[in-house]
Amino acid sequence: MSLLSNFEVQITNDHINKLLRFSPIRALSELIWNALDADATEIEIEFERNALGGLEHIIIRDNGDGINFDLVNDQFGKLGDSHKTKRKTSPNGRRYHGKLGQGRYSGFVLGKTVEWVSLYKNDLGVLHEFSITGDKNELKVFRKSAPQIALGTKTGVTVSITNLIDENADDIAENKLLIQQLTMIFAPYLLAYSEISIKVEGVVLEPAKQIKKLSESILFQDNEQGLPIRGVLKVIEWKTGSYKNMYLCGQSGIAFEEEKAGFRTGTFSHTSYLMSSIIDDLWETNQIDVRDGNPDYVILRNMADLILRDLARQKMILEASEEIKRLKKEDIYPYRGEPKTVVEEAERQIFDICAVKINQFMPDISKGSKSNREFTYRLMKEALQSNPDSLQMILKEVLKLPQEQQDELAAILERTSLESIINTTKLISNRLLFLSGLEQILLEDDFQKRLKERSQLHKILVRELWLFGDEYSYGYDDISLRNVLKQHLHLLERDEIANDIDYKSIKSLNDIPDIGLFRQFPTGKPGHYENLIIELKRPSCNIGIKEISQVKRYAHAIERNDHFDKDKTKWKIILLGVHLDDYAEFEIKQAGRETGLIHKSETGSMEVWVKEWNQVIQEAKGKHQHLKQMLELEVKDNEEGLNYLRSKYKEYIPD
């Protein structure tokens, strides 16, 4: 072929460098996609090797439509203005993969010299042949030969890569690995278009024969604007290997980008294909590299991750079933009978997964004595029941499980319902036990007479502030109103005022409330707070005029002191006791007020309440009743609650 002319491509050096950063497998894939975009049905990859088996020459041959000489300057010479940006599908109706004419530079990732030999038919249907040659040292200039009439009838392009870059060529030199990698990339496309054949040195890519299982999930969710986010997640589980990767694909299954799985999935060897028009749009608008900034893509990817996590967890549970059968047969499985509740079932699922992983990666455990193995499994069970978070410590410090396997287990359990169910169960169970025990020590005569306000009851409640509302945070306890003012100003970030106040001169702030809590109002009212002050009375105290006067004095001191903020802060003071006398009963029942509300300021910024412990306990029980039913918990009797209270607060409970 005689040399006709050179032609230039308008491209910046930065853009060239970006294209040359493709991985070797990505570069080879781009050249295959170019052939598919030209409606090729047969693609062959061939290697010429030296005496040592190293690659010397890479050839990619296809039977597509070829490159039309009359369109070279438009199709090949204008980077960023590829004809594929104007048309979305090939003449035969296949959706294009390539865009912006970038695929041609992929060959230079593998070698320094790339030649395209094109066989095409002109407008009269006559077969012609010509070549285009490029050199890595001069990537803005290509050379093309004059077209000549060719023999035969078959069109297509042969890409020839020479002067190979050894370190990159070596990455694709091992045929078995290359075939597996290309199979993963092109699996959805080859499954969709059965007429297409891709060969590597004569070996046909046959994804159907490599697949152990294929699953497909529909992704469906609305975004914040109420617009639908749609997609499909295909997951191929391979018969061999330990692959854990994801390809971002358009609706037709064309893979645009590869990502690693966002979590570890153990022996679950798979490739997932996230397919959506959203990914098509990202690719076509050249935003695929900044996809994490696209809210719709983030929703799509999160949906896919949840499905993959569930598939991986179910896979591990399936693997666990055989191992657990063996443990049961040897009578060292720490659970007996069938699980009675959803909580027990969730706990056992976690245990089973961990037991399997331990046996997989620590085979010596299975060789140990029956007593040692029984102890190991009992330790795991106790950790799950008492504190699921401690399981990580046991896996690391006691069993010495490799870090990768610790991470894998954590990833599988993360964001699933299993661990959260167990943690929530433990929390609700303990709270119900606490309420049962508290009811007994407050309301039974034997404890009432001996339980002291500050040294016992106060110390217990400071650690159980959820009783007054989970939305509150601890502020202070057992300090004077003078110090309450200091805490209040600090919370409002008004320390400069706090430093200028002469606290000794404020005589009305000597009273000492028991417990102070605060909460910040929901977003929309920045800087707004509610302060809750609790005044406790020992169970033997009958609340009357003296105690009510005390809390009203607190309210008066706060209301009359200008340093306590009233504009952005609401104050609620609660006097809490077991018994009310006639005067207190009269005070809490006033027309136009809720029962228990004995004072409310004109602005509504200050409220004073008197409540009985029985009312507070029943309200707390009511809040937990739904969760109790959902989690199938039951506190059998008060003795169980009292035993819990004694175990946790032994030093504060009278004998």
pLDDT digits (tens, 9 = 90+) for 304-324: 988 888 887 777 667 667 778
| Third-level CATH fold of 3-173 | Heat Shock Protein 90 (3.30.565)
* Coil, helix or strand at residue 88: coil
Q: What's the rounded Cα separation, in Å, for the pair 155 and 388? A: 65
As given in the structure block, the two tokens for residue 144 are: 């093309």
Q: Enumerate the domain spans of the chain.
A: 3-173, 206-308, 330-415, 445-648
Strand (E) positions, 223-296?
A: 228-238, 244-249, 255-260, 270-275
Report the pLDDT value the prediction gives residue 476, as an integer from 0 to 100. 47
Give the burial class of 12: count Cβ atoms within 10 A of its Cβ; 0-12 exposed, 13-18 middle, 19 or more buried: exposed
* Coil, helix or strand at residue 608: strand
Give the burial class of 610: count Cβ atoms within 10 A of its Cβ; 0-12 exposed, 13-18 middle, 19 or more buried: buried
| Cβ contacts of 541 within 8 Å, gap of 6 or more | 453, 547, 577, 578, 579
Which candidate, 504, 505, 486, 502, places its Cα nearest to that of 494? Answer: 486
Q: Which 3-state string (H, E, C) describes 130-156?
A: EEEEEECCEEEEEEEECCEECCCCCCE
pLDDT digits (tens, 9 = 90+) for 391-409: 666 666 555 656 666 665 5
Q: How many Cβ atoms sit within 10 Å of the Cβ of residue 321?
A: 10
- Whole-angstrom CA distances from 337 to 217, 324, 325, 340, 378 are 35, 13, 13, 9, 16
Strand order in the sheet with 211-222: 211-222, 228-238, 270-275, 244-249, 255-260
Report the pLDDT value the prediction gives residue 627, as an integer from 0 to 100. 59
| Amino acid at the residue 615 | Q
Are the beta carbons of 41 and 195 closer than 8 angstroms?
Answer: yes
Report the pLDDT value the prediction gives residue 516, as an integer from 0 to 100. 46
Q: Which 3-state string (H, E, C) describes 50-117?
A: CCCCCEEEEEEEECCCCCCHHHHHHHCCCCCCCHHHCCCECCCCCECCCCCCCHHHHHHHHEEEEEEE
State the 10-residue block means of pLDDT for the chain, 655 residues long: 70 73 89 90 94 90 92 66 53 62 80 94 92 89 91 92 92 90 90 91 92 91 90 90 85 83 62 92 87 93 88 73 80 86 74 73 68 80 67 59 61 49 67 81 69 66 75 53 46 43 45 47 57 79 90 82 73 87 90 89 88 86 65 48 61 54
* Coil, helix or strand at residue 483: helix
Q: What's the rounded Cα separation, in Å, for the pair 310 and 414? A: 11
Name the residue with tokens 């549970």. 317
| Cβ contacts of 88 within 8 Å, gap of 6 or more | 95, 96
* Coil, helix or strand at residue 361: helix
- CATH class as words, domain 445-648: alpha beta
Q: What's the rounded Cα separation, in Å, for the pair 609 and 56? A: 89
Report the pLDDT value the prediction gives residue 497, as an integer from 0 to 100. 39
Neighbouring-strand partners of residue 3: 145
Residue 176 zone, left/alpha/beta (φ > 0; ψ -120 to 50; rest): alpha
Radius of gyration of the chain, Cα coordinates, nearest whole angstrom: 37
Residue 125 has φ and ψ, to the nearest 5°, of 85, 10
The answer, as to whether pTM is greater than 0.75, is no
As given in the structure block, the two tokens for residue 22 are: 């493709």
Q: What's the rounded Cα separation, in Å, for the pair 318 and 578? A: 55
Are the beta carbons of 292 and 298 closer than 8 angstroms?
Answer: yes
Q: What's the rounded Cα separation, in Å, for the pair 185 and 43? A: 15
Neighbouring-strand partners of residue 336: none
Between helices 370-386 and 417-443, what is the axis angle to 10°?
Answer: 70
Give the burial class of 191: count Cβ atoms within 10 A of its Cβ; 0-12 exposed, 13-18 middle, 19 or more buried: middle
| Cβ contacts of 200 within 8 Å, gap of 6 or more | 45, 175, 178, 179, 182
| Cβ contacts of 109 within 8 Å, gap of 6 or more | 20, 22, 23, 24, 26, 27, 165, 168
Are the beta carbons of 235 and 311 closer than 8 angstroms?
Answer: yes
